[in-house]
Amino acid sequence: MHGVVPKSMWQRKNPPDENNMCSWAMRCMLVEDGDRLILIDNGLGDKQSEKFFGFYFLHGDDSLDKSLAAHGFHSDDITDVFLTHLHFDHCGGSVQWNKERSGYEPAFKNAKFWSNELHWKWATEPNPREKASFLKENILPIQESGQLEFVSLARNNGADNLMIPNIFPSFSALTVNGHTDAMMIPHIEYKGRTVVFMADLLPSVGHIPLAWVMGYDTRPLLTLKEKKTFLQQAVEKEYVLFFEHDAVNECCTVIAGDRGPMLGETFKLSEL
């Protein structure tokens, strides 16, 4: 998770356990907008084998169904599932066993599932390095169900990082390519602020320093460049950053520092 940063440095921010592993969240976001109920990412689901889950030392009692119920919703109420990218810890909850456990079905039967054509091709024809993260049982049943939709990535003057506007009302997304090809970073207008769902561009507050880039990234130098550009904008536009993987901090702001953007305030989204 910390790439080339030495453990002597990163353990101050993320103390490891006896397995040398740190605690991370799989925090999703639910956006209620008119008659739409949009779920951004959905964790890793529960259909994988006991052996698979054993690698990750899952703990805690939280689940997506419990979280939806706590807000008065059910998975059948979801109208749209927006997938930042198709690594298993972001999209595994999209698909579940059917009642007979003879095959798979979408976990959100009334929803459209949103990806983009470039990333879908990247995930369904995976490179050897990412193959273990793109699990076909998480991905192909979405297409087979007929519920898959692609947002348009019409190229704009050859730019690699595109802002896709108006995917939903008050909901746009920035494409970035350092972590994986054409990952989408949602930007949501909320209470007069722009809330940015960080996905794996910025997994935690500990990853704000530019050199703190994950070892999972396929193009770490590109991630560094994308982070630098994004964080400068986040300072100037006073973005609220919403973290998918930070187990302690849900949101933060970033401010200008002597060495570049640095952590501002941390808070819960409900405190906005």
Which run of H or of E encompasses 210? none
CA–CA separation, 160 vs 177, rounded Å?
8
Q: CA triplet 200, 203, 204: central angle to 5 degrees?
A: 165
pLDDT score of 90 more than 80? yes
Provide the pLDDT for residue 162: 87
Residue 9, phi-psi category: left (phi > 0), alpha (psi -120 to 50), beta (remainder): alpha
Number of H helices, E strands in the chain: 7, 14
Question: Residue 138: which pLDDT band, with cuts at 50, 70 and 90?
Answer: very high
Percentage helix, strand, coil, to 5, in the chain? 25, 25, 50
Average pLDDT rounded to a whole number, residues 58-80: 95
> Which residue shows structure tokens 């909850």?
93
Q: List, for residues 118-129, the tens digit of each pLDDT value.
A: 999 999 999 999
Question: What is the pLDDT at residue 238?
Answer: 97
Residue 157 is predicted with a pLDDT of 44
C-alpha distances out from residue 31 to 106, 110, 171, Å: 20, 16, 9
Q: What is the mean pLDDT of residues 170-194?
A: 97
Give yes or no for residue 271 having a pLDDT over 60. yes
CATH 3.60.70.12 fits 7-152+161-271, yes or no: no
Q: Which tens digits make up the pLDDT trace of 14-43? A: 999 998 999 999 999 999 999 999 999 999
Domain range summary for the chain, segments of one domain joined by +: 7-152+161-271
Whether 245 shows a pLDDT value over 50: the answer reads yes
